[in-house]
């Protein structure tokens, strides 16, 4: 028969593994990402609506961005027609961040909450708040020329 205290410790460890997530969160208030829509462009909108339905944006905005990136970089196609028939320029910096210009309080806030570290910001995004134009990739920065 194994010594009682060894088994006691073992059981405490086993239960402890499952208790950790409960203990860490104990007494914490409800927390959500608290993203902000307070940007000049969104405030100016009559109907507050993203490019696609909000449900789709919440779940699949990265899929959309991937399509955009491939479309622009591989096919040189900059035009995106949304489900509602609106035409947008496929640009992370000018379209997404045009409306969501509060990148830190929108994209980053939610990504921090969901533990997503975007490597996109190495090149995209208005990292330099003093001089945004310097870091935004614009049409003038096109590195890839279309095939004739």
Partner 1 sequence: MKVVGPLIVVVLLAALAWCCTEYLHWYALFGIVIPYVAVVLLIVGLVVRIVRWARSAVPFRIPTTCGQQKSLPWIKQAKLDNPSSKAGVFGRMVLEVLTFRSLFRNNKVEKRDSKLGYTSAKWLFLGALLFHWSMLIIVIRHLRLALEPVPDFLVVLEQADGFLQVGLPLLYISDVLIVVGLVFLLARRLTIKKVRYISLSVDFFPLFLLLGIAISGIVMRYAFRVDIAGVKEVVLGLLTFHPVSPDQLSTILFVHLFLVCVLMVYFPWSKLMHAPGIFMSPTRNLANNSREVRHVNPWNYPVKVHTYAEYQEEYGEKMKSVGLPLDPEVVSTNG
The region, left, alpha or beta by phi > 0 then psi within -120 to 50, assigned to residue 65 is alpha
Asked whether position 127 contacts partner 1 by CB under 8 A, the answer is: no
- Reported in sequence order, the residue ranges of the chain that DSSP labels E, i.e. its strands, are 79-81, 87-89
Q: Binding pattern to partner 1, positions 9-38, x when CB under 8 A?
A: -xx--xx--x--xx-xxxxx-xxxx-----
26/134 with CB nearer partner 1: 26
Own/partner pairs, 64-67, CB within 8 angstroms, 24+ separation: 65/92, 65/96, 65/120
Among 8, 10, 58, 128, contact with ligand HEC (rule: CB under 6 A): 58
And the tokens for 71? 């479309």
Residues at the interface with partner 1 (CB under 8 A): 1-2, 7, 10-11, 14-15, 18, 21-22, 24-28, 30-33, 55, 58-60, 62-63, 65-66, 69, 110, 112-117, 119
């Amino acid at each position: 028969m194994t010594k009682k205290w060894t088994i006691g410790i073992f059981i405490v460890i086993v239960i402890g593994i499952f208790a950790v997530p409960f203990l860490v969160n104990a007494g914490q208030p409800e927390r959500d990402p608290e993203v902000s829509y307070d940007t000049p462009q969104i405030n100016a909108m009559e109907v507050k609506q993203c490019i696609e339905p909000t449900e789709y944006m919440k779940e699949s905005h990265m899929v959309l961005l991937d399509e955009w990136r491939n479309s622009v970089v591989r096919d040189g196609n900059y035009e995106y027609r949304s489900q509602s028939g609106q035409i947008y320029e496929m640009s992370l910096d000018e379209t997404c961040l045009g409306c969501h210009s509060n990148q830190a309080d929108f994209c980053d806030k939610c990504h921090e909450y969901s533990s997503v570290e975007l490597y996109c910001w190495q090149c995209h995004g208005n990292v330099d708040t003093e001089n945004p134009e310097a870091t935004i990739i614009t049409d003038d920065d096109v590195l890839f020329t279309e095939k004739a």
